[in-house]
A and B are shown apart, each in its own frame.
Chain A
Amino acid sequence: MTLLGAAVDYIAQNPRLFREALVTHLLLSGSALLVAAAVGIPLGAAVTRRPRAAFVALNGVNVARTIPSLAVLAFMLPFLGIGFLPSFLALAILGLPPIVTNTWVGIRQVDPDAVESARGMGMTGSQVLRRVELPIAVPVILAGVRTSAVQIVAGATLAAFIGGGGLGDFITTGIGMMQVELLLVGAIPVTALAIATELGFSLLERALTPRGMRES
């Protein structure tokens, strides 16, 4: 309790520092997620009609998934140095696998009869994708985006190691200086952020699921 009080005190005494770290953290996570989705959804959709490309892409991102988050960040260091950009890129890569995989799975599990009748009625390939496959796959794709978002928000903590800033700064400093209250200034908001992300995307998922497909 006193630790918690100390952490709150620290925030109250350094509002600007805390706000800056929070904003950086959100900016880093948000932009990384946006890019991961902007790349991952088209990539996942593109490979659904090309089995060989799907094999390469899915295994590629799955191998990438096994690399620890910290290692991904560390790999950026020799190429892009330190700061926001390498952290952002590393996080975007970290967020890619669940989005690509879920997009592919979501489209693959669309009722083949719906696709067959869409083609049979004269939809072009891209019309089938945009009007039938993607809307039906939305819940599964969003579940992937949610997993990715939580991973990125949590992973952004590690950006502090390569100078990316964010709430991780408090954690690394706290550990370095053996100041547990400082560590909590980073750890508690990050946890809250991750939980809020999870809940927020669950709500979004429900809201964006087409009405005819909602579980009552």
Chain B
Amino acid sequence: MIRLRRLTKVFAGQAGAAVDDLTLDVAAGETCVLIGPSGCGKTTTMRMINRLIEPTRGTIEVDGRDVAKADPVELRRRIGYVIQQVGLFPHMTIADNVATVPRLLGWTPARLEARVDEMLALVGLDPASFRRRYPRELSGGQRQRVGVARALAGDPPVMLMDEPFGAVDPITRARLQNELLKILAAVGKTVVFVTHDVDEAIRMGDRIAILRDGRLVQHGTPVEILVRPADPFVEEFVGADRALKRLGLVAVPDVMAPGAGGAAKGSPTVSLHTSALGALPALLAAPDGAVTVVDAAGRPVGRLSFADVQRVLTDESPG
């Protein structure tokens, strides 16, 4: 869907390249997270995709078409764009903000209005109470939701998101991340997502591209990157607790021993819908190093032991 080929950007008056010979593919429907320390070129890379920045060398294809040959204005209307500070228009109502791209595309008022309501509902804002409000009447989290609704309104096949949740508090961020995952699962977009937060990358990304000094250091699934960091830089970047992060990606049902029997009386329980990481505290507290896994109704469906969890970490095959 998105193909970057030997992409290079050298800014005038700067010694090194901001983006250096970057080749990267993002498959249709996939969320690719660009991550790295500040100045690694992740935002520059993203802004070259919708031509807010022109590359020095290299090519970018979106949906099989070379973006350099497209009209930038036309191109951007088909690429959703969300930035950290949202950039809502303060003089427009929420409805008018969300309607920006459909209006540029010349949609009829009826279709436009329906789309605005649909988008607001999608991001969890009641259209009836938010349509006519203004950005400054909203909280930071609500503004971010409007930003996402606005980017989705023109139904673009591709979305670019530059640290979209960087400016909201951690609790709101976690909620917005989960909701975005649900929305993306429902609408099926190809997403390039920039962040400097490793946990966010692991949570949001189907694949993660780690950049350093404009170069691609590693590109892989979150599990691949956690299990086999390409070099000491990546290893340090993902953090000393990468084993724990790895456990966070494993669902309990995938590693437990299924079966209702064998549960010791009074054994601690964990929910079927948690991760191996989430089950860890209960395991630590369990006298015999094993807990009973229960479903939503509290019925036992399996047992999870320390050995099961350890197997995840010793099993080097990613995925």
A-side residues, CB < 8 A to B, are 111, 113-124, 127, 131-132, 135-136, 210-213
**Contacts A117-B81, A212-B93, A212-B136 given: A122-B74 contact, CB under 8 Å?**
yes
* Contact between A210 and B91, CB atoms less than 8 A apart: yes
Partner of A117, one of B74, B77, B86, B91: B86
Given known A119-B52, A122-B75, contact A213–B90 (CB-CB < 8 A): yes
**From B87, B101, B160, residue with most partner A Cβ within 10 Å:** B87
Is B83 in contact with A116, judged by CB distance below 8 angstroms? yes
Instruction: Please determine whether A212 and B52 come into contact, CB atoms closer than 8 angstroms.
Output: no
Instruction: Decide yes or no: A212 and B92 within 8 Å by CB, A113-B85, A117-B81, A117-B86 being known contacts.
Output: yes
Question: What are 5 inter-chain pairs, A to B, with CB distance below 8 A?
Answer: A121-B76, A121-B77, A123-B100, A211-B134, A213-B134
A123 partner residues in chain B, CB cutoff 8 A: 73, 100, 104
Q: Are A132 and B89 in contact (CB under 8 A)?
A: yes
The answer to whether A113 and B91 have CB atoms under 8 Å apart is no
Cβ of B50 under 8 Å from chain A? yes
B112: A residues at CB distance < 8 A: none
CB-CB under 8 A from A211, the residues of chain B are 91, 134
Q: Which chain B residues numbered 86 to 116 have a C-beta less than 8 Å away from chain A?
A: 86-93, 100-101, 104
Question: Is B41 interfacial (CB-CB < 8 Å)?
Answer: no
A116 contact set on B, CB distance < 8 A: 52, 83, 87
Contact B89 A118 (CB under 8 A): yes
CB distance from A103 to the nearest CB of B (A): 16
User: Contacts of B77 on A, CB cut-off 8 Å?
Assistant: 121-122
Q: Which residues of B contact A (CB under 8 A)?
A: 50, 52, 73-78, 81, 83, 85-93, 100-101, 104, 134-137, 147, 150-151, 154, 160
Secondary structure at the B interface, as helix, strand, loop or mixed, is mixed
Known contacts A121-B151, A210-B92, then 17 further A-B pairs from the complex at CB < 8 Å, ordered by chain A residue: A113-B86, A114-B87, A116-B52, A117-B81, A118-B100, A119-B76, A120-B81, A121-B77, A121-B100, A121-B104, A122-B101, A123-B73, A136-B89, A210-B91, A211-B91, A212-B136, A213-B136
CA distance A115 to B86 in the complex (A): 11
Q: In the complex the two chains form, is B88's CB within 8 Å of A121's CB?
A: no
Given the known inter-chain contacts A122-B77, A124-B73, A212-B136, please indicate yes or no for A111 contacting B87, CB distance below 8 A.
yes
Q: Please indicate the chain B residues that have their CB under 8 angstroms from the CB of A115 in the complex.
A: 87
Q: In the complex the two chains form, is B91's CB within 8 Å of A120's CB?
A: no
Known contacts A113-B85, A120-B76, A121-B81: A210-B52 contact under CB 8 Å: no
Residue among A114, A118, A120 with max Cβ neighbours from chain B (10 Å) = A120
Query: How far, in angstroms, from A213 to B91 measured CA to CA in the complex?
Result: 6
A120 near B90 (CB under 8 angstroms)?
no
- A74–B154 Cα distance when bound, in Å, is 59
Contact of A114 with B88 in the complex, beta carbons under 8 Å: yes
Closest to B153 in A: A121
CB distance from A174 to the nearest CB of B (A): 48
The docked-state distance in angstroms from the alpha carbon of A118 to that of B76 is 10
CB contact between A135 and one of B75, B83, B91, B101 (< 8 Å): that residue: B91
Of all chain B residues, the one with the shortest Cβ separation from A210 is B91
Instruction: A201 to B259: give the CA distance in the assembly, Å.
Output: 79
